[in-house]
Amino acid sequence: MTATSSPPFALPTAQDQTSLARDAILHSGNAGVIVERVGQLRAEFRSEGRQFARELSDYINTNYAGIVSVFVYEETFGTKDRLHWLLHIKSLHAYETLIRMGTQDTGWRDIIMKQRIPAERGGGSWDRLFLDGALHETVLIPSAFGMYGTSESTPDGVSTDADGPATFTVPVAQQQTVVPVEQQLHSANSGIVMHRVGELKYEFRAEGRAFSRALCESWNKALAGHATIFLYEEAFGQSDRIHHFIHLKSLSSYYTLMGVRAMSDPETREVFTKQWIPDEKGGGGWDRMFVQGSLADMALTPQHWGMYATKTGD
């Protein structure tokens, strides 16, 4: 008998959740705003909940292309049946279009109102799929030098109008690095998205952002092809809580990240050993900048049909 082996499983990326052309997709690199929506499914409706999440995302991606791209992720290691949507929105202006969707888009309303739970299991629509009070959102904006008054000089992104107040134009995250766009990993083409959150001490809010951007860039250059890291600010939430999206080509790319950290190339070593805090503030390196215990990581895997023995989308 001849032994046969199955081909290695290639984990689908988030962009495989949509039929949109790759250059029509908004993602963590080119979106002006990212809304992370998290919801905890009831275990008994874990399949129906995933089907709802994917159906709604696909509808939005198809009908609101150029305004928003939505992808669904699972926690790689964490709480099972907790779903994460990343809504990649062109801008806050575009978000207003999505607000109108709730009252004017009949297709969207049909998906929301659809009966998803069989009568023999009690019946019901999407609102029975999730634990009450478990849906929450975090709004992220790509970090830019000088945001939120963290620069002594006026940033380049500020424009003024003779008839009104100044306006800040936020560069998209893919402009944070010199790595060419075509070599960057992002939320649509990466195998894993690590979401790292840290809260800066208020007195070191400027130094902390400078350190974080320098660290991202040193790692981006050292890890090109394996990982890309972008920095975001939390809007409408905790002040001075910053967010890194570490986009890994695959889960095993984490070993490469560990290797770069262990070898500590000259540029990265300089970032970690530099005295970022001036003497008049007591001096010190990056370890003084963050609230103790506030740095936390979450790994997200793009959702695919059949994941964790759930039903497919058919």
- CB 42, CB 84: distance < 8 Å: no
Pairing of strands 241-248, 227-235: antiparallel
Query: Which tokens is 41 given?
Result: 């499914």
Q: Give the range among 6-20, 149-163, 251-265 with minimum mean pLDDT.
A: 149-163
Tell me how far apart the alpha carbons of residues 271 and 213 are, in angstroms, rounded to a whole number. Answer: 10
For residues 161 and 240, state if they share a domain. yes
Domain end position, chosen among 107, 138, 169: 138
User: Is 243 a member of any domain?
Assistant: yes
For residues 57 and 125, state if they share a domain. yes
For residues 173 and 276, state if they share a domain. yes
Q: What is the pLDDT of residue 167?
A: 78
Q: What is the pLDDT of residue 57?
A: 96
pLDDT > 90? residue 269: no
For residues 233 and 269, state if they share a domain. yes
pLDDT > 60? residue 3: no
- CB 234, CB 242: distance < 8 Å: yes
- Mean of pLDDT over the chain: 89
Q: Give the range among 49-58, 115-124, 188-197, 279-288 with minimum mean pLDDT.
A: 115-124
Tell me how far apart the alpha carbons of residues 251 and 9 are, in angstroms, rounded to a whole number. Answer: 13
Query: Which tokens is 192 given?
Result: 């894993």
The contacts of residue 250 (CB under 8 Å, 6+ apart) are 11, 191, 192
Q: Any idea how long the chain is? A: 314
User: Is 119 a member of any domain?
Assistant: yes
Q: What is the mean pLDDT of residues 130-143?
A: 94
pLDDT > 50? residue 141: yes
DSSP 107-172: HHHHHHH---B-GGGT-B-GGGTB-TT--EEEEEEE--TTGGG--SS--TTEEEETTEEEEEPPPP
Q: Which residues pair with 41 in a beta bridge?
A: 130
For residues 94 and 222, state if they share a domain. no
Tell me how far apart the alpha carbons of residues 125 and 110 are, in angstroms, rounded to a whole number. Answer: 11
* Nearest partner of 61 among 104, 96, 108, judged by Cα: 108
For residues 186 and 90, state if they share a domain. no
For residues 121 and 27, state if they share a domain. yes
For residues 122 and 195, state if they share a domain. no
Tell me how far apart the alpha carbons of residues 85 and 229 are, in angstroms, rounded to a whole number. Answer: 19
For residues 176 and 279, state if they share a domain. yes
- Percentage with pLDDT > 90 across the chain: 69
User: Is 6 a member of any domain?
Assistant: no
User: Is 168 a member of any domain?
Assistant: yes
Which pLDDT band, with edges at 50, 70 and 90, does 1 fall under? very low
| Domain housing 106 | 14-138
The contacts of residue 98 (CB under 8 Å, 6+ apart) are 64, 67, 68, 89
Which pLDDT band, with edges at 50, 70 and 90, does 152 fall under? low
For residues 164 and 228, state if they share a domain. yes
Domain end position, chosen among 138, 166, 200: 138
The contacts of residue 180 (CB under 8 Å, 6+ apart) are none
Q: What is the mean pLDDT of residues 15-30?
A: 96
Which pLDDT band, with edges at 50, 70 and 90, does 207 fall under? very high
Tens-digit pLDDT profile for residues 86-135: 999 999 989 888 888 878 889 999 999 999 988 888 888 998 999 999 89
Domain end position, chosen among 106, 138, 170: 138
- Percentage with pLDDT > 70 across the chain: 90
User: Is 242 a member of any domain?
Assistant: yes
Q: Which residues pair with 158 in a beta bridge?
A: 168
Which pLDDT band, with edges at 50, 70 and 90, does 185 fall under? very high
User: Is 18 a member of any domain?
Assistant: yes
For residues 168 and 294, state if they share a domain. yes
Tell me how far apart the alpha carbons of residues 12 and 303 are, in angstroms, rounded to a whole number. Answer: 8
Number of independent structural domains in the chain: 2
243: domain CATH number is 3.30.70.100
Which pLDDT band, with edges at 50, 70 and 90, does 168 fall under? confident
For residues 198 and 288, state if they share a domain. yes
247: three-class secondary structure by DSSP: strand
DSSP 201-236: -GGGHHHHHHHHHHHHHHHHHHTTTTEEEEEEEEES
Q: What is the pLDDT of residue 221?
A: 94
Q: What is the pLDDT of residue 229?
A: 98
User: Is 276 a member of any domain?
Assistant: yes
